[in-house]
């Protein structure tokens, strides 16, 4: 982000091992399943109801994981080549509605398609990709500028209803409305991405004006009163943050901070996942958990405020990693309103498994940030990175047992004179270190199990640093059990990634005491 206190490291110059490498490998393999490759990619069950959504999420995830791992996708170039042939005569996917009607699921899906195209353009730099982006902007979105001004905001229209995959349930005014309330504003993510890469031209001016209007309209909504989908809300917020990074308009940063605070208060679950809709704790959705992780990390980068770092770590290790399944995909959990956490569905292959790729790639991307002559580590991961720090070229090598233990070693080499390291440590915040004469920093902090008030509802939770612990019905199926400080047979919520066993997903964990 250009207008940030901290700058993210170049994602393609960081490589990960350990936990993150394993998860990225599993997720990459999942995205090479037939349904995410042509020809089935363009024949999925959601093509008619969510045009652009399946294709966009899949290709975005494949692009981002390729950039994060350095491993070429098996089909990405072929998918992009076939995409142009699937567009209608107006240059987008799906039906052509009479002007000025709008289908918010079609618009939402094309938000992801724009993201995929923009990411692919950054990856490959092909002019024909810009041509596809322009077709979606000119022929689908820009003609609906007036329609967006009439987006229905009456809460009575859409309270209740909906399933894990939303559907169009009503038409009112110019809008075909989805049970994924507010998903018409998911495209703010894709539109702002397009705006950030597109060369100056009259179309870009018009796009910028439409984005500004859409943000104003979105900020006028009442997320809790309308029971907006938290995924839609947080994805739109990421678009607002991107617009802040492009324009430097502090109003956008202030708005993003306010929305994230609202989400934590009214949309987050006790283990840092999400309620699918505000004020409707029915199930969680990794798409939104990924969004919340990205927003928290971007807010830390934009502000430098350390209060976001515990949230970044807790969302990552108790929410996002918890929802990755042993097949590499991502699934939904219960909201644990009764204090018990379990799987709601094993895998949401139509959306969350694809967004999981962006989430893991973001985790790889955000692992190192730069502030002046300091390398900032918001969470400890096993990695190798080539960084530009205060104009100096520095190589960082990291080994860690985090989050199960607060132990890590960092070795800096290259132009390290005057370079320091700031590492987030649970309960202490950012701790600054000066490497020794060999360029080494060693961290070894003792973590104890503590009880603290649950972030949602009543009761207390057990934490080992920022890692939440639960009590299973059958401790024997877990490889790593935590037995210390007078507690026995507790397990970390994200420990399931170590086990190639689906039964841990059906195991109920008591997490509120």
| Token representation of residue 206 | 């018009």
Cβ-contact 277, 181 below 8 angstroms: yes
Q: At what angle do helices 250-266 and 286-303 cross, to 10 degrees?
A: 140
Among candidate residues 435, 427, 432, 396, the one with its CA nearest the CA of residue 414: 396
C-alpha angle 362/365/371, rounded to 5°? 125
* Percentage of the chain exceeding pLDDT 90: 88
Continuous H helices in 268-413: 286-303, 308-314, 352-366
Both tokens of 95, joined, read 């039906």
What is the tens place of the pLDDT at every residue in 154-200?
888 777 788 899 999 999 999 999 999 999 999 999 999 999 999 99
Q: Does residue 45 surpass a pLDDT of 80? A: no
- CATH no., domain 16-366: 1.50.10.20
CA distance 489 to 505: 17
Strands, DSSP E only, in 153-218?
168-172, 175-178
Task: Quote the mean pLDDT of the chain.
Answer: 94
pLDDT digits (tens, 9 = 90+) for 426-457: 999 999 999 999 999 999 999 999 999 999 98
> Do residues 1 and 8 lie in contact, with contact meaning Cβ atoms separated by under 8 Å?
yes
Task: Report whether pLDDT(499) > 50.
Answer: no
Query: Are residues 194 and 203 in contact, defined by beta-carbon separation less than 8 angstroms?
Result: no
pLDDT at 97: 97
As a whole number of angstroms, the distance between CA 23 and CA 500 comes to 12
Domain ranges of the chain: 16-366, 374-445, 449-510
CA distance 507 to 499: 13
Q: What is the rounded (10 degree) CA torsion for 236, 241, 245, 246?
A: 20
Query: Is the pLDDT at 1 greater than 60, yes or no?
Result: no
In a 13 Å sphere around the CA of 394, the CA atoms on its Cβ side amount to: 29
Read off the DSSP letter of residue 185.
G
* Listed range (110-114, 144-148, 496-500) with the worst mean pLDDT: 496-500
Q: What is the pLDDT of residues 318-377, one digit of tens each?
A: 999 999 998 999 999 999 999 999 999 999 999 999 999 999 999 999 999 999 999 999
What is the tens place of the pLDDT at every residue in 4-24?
799 999 988 999 999 899 999
**What's the average model confidence in pLDDT over 51-56?**
97
Does residue 191 contact residue 239 with C-beta atoms inside 8 Å?
yes
Rounded distance, CA 475 to CA 40, Å? Answer: 40
């Amino acid at each position: 982000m250009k207008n940030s206190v901290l700058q993210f490291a170049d994602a393609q110059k960081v490589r990960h091992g350990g936990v993150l490498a394993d998860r990225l490998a599993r997720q990459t393999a999942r995205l090479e399943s037939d349904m995410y490759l042509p020809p089935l990619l363009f024949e999925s069950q959601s093509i008619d109801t969510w045009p652009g959504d399946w294709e966009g999420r899949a290709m975005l995830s494949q692009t981002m994981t390729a950039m994060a791992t350095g491993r070429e996708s098996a089909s990405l170039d072929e998918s992009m080549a076939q995409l142009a042939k699937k567009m209608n005569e107006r240059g987008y996917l799906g039906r052509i509605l009479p002007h000025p009607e709008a289908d918010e699921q079609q618009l939402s899906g094309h938000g992801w398609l724009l993201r995929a195209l923009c990411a692919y353009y950054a990856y490959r730099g092909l002019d024909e990709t810009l041509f596809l982006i322009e077709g979606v902007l000119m022929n689908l979105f820009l003609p609906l500028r007036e329609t967006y001004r009439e987006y229905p905001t009456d809460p009575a229209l859409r309270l209740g209803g909906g399933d894990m995959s939303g559907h169009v349930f009503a038409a009112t005014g110019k809008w075909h409305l989805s049970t994924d309330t507010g998903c018409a504003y998911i495209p703010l993510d894709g539109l702002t991405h397009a705006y950030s890469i597109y060369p100056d031209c009259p179309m870009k001016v018009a796009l910028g004006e439409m984005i500004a209007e859409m943000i104003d309209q979105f900020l006028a909504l009442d997320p809790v009163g309308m029971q907006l989908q938290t995924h839609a809300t947080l994805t739109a917020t990421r678009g607002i943050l991107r617009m802040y990074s492009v324009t430097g308009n502090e109003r956008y940063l202030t708005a993003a901070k306010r929305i994230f605070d609202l989400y934590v208060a009214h949309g987050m679950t006790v283990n840092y996942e999400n309620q699918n809709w505000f004020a409707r704790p029915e199930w969680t959705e990794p798409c939104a958990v990924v969004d919340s992780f990205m927003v928290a990390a971007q807010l830390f980068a934009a502000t430098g405020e350390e209060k976001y770092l515990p949230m970044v770590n807790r969302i990552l290790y108790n929410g996002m990693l918890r929802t990755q399944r042993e097949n590499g995909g991502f699934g939904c959990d219960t909201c644990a309103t009764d204090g018990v956490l379990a799987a709601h569905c094993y895998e949401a292959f139509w959306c969350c498994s694809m967004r999981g790729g962006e989430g893991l790639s973001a985790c790889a991307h955000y692992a190192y940030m730069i502030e002046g002559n300091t390398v900032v580590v918001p969470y400890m991961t096993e990695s190798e990175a080539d960084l530009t720090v205060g104009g100096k070229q520095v190589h960082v090598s990291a080994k860690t047992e985090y989050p199960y233990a607060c132990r890590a070693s960092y070795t800096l080499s290259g132009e390290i004179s005057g370079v320091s390291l700031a590492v987030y440590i649970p309960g202490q915040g950012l701790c600054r270190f000066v490497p020794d004469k060999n360029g080494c920093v060693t961290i070894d902090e003792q973590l104890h199990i503590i009880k603290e008030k649950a972030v949602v509802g009543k009761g207390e939770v057990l934490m080992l640093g920022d890692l939440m612990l639960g009590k299973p019905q059958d401790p024997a199926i877990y490889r790593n059990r935590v037995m210390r400080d007078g507690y026995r047979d507790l397990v970390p919520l994200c420990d399931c990634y170590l086990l190639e066993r689906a039964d841990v997903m059906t195991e109920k964990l008591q997490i509120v005491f």
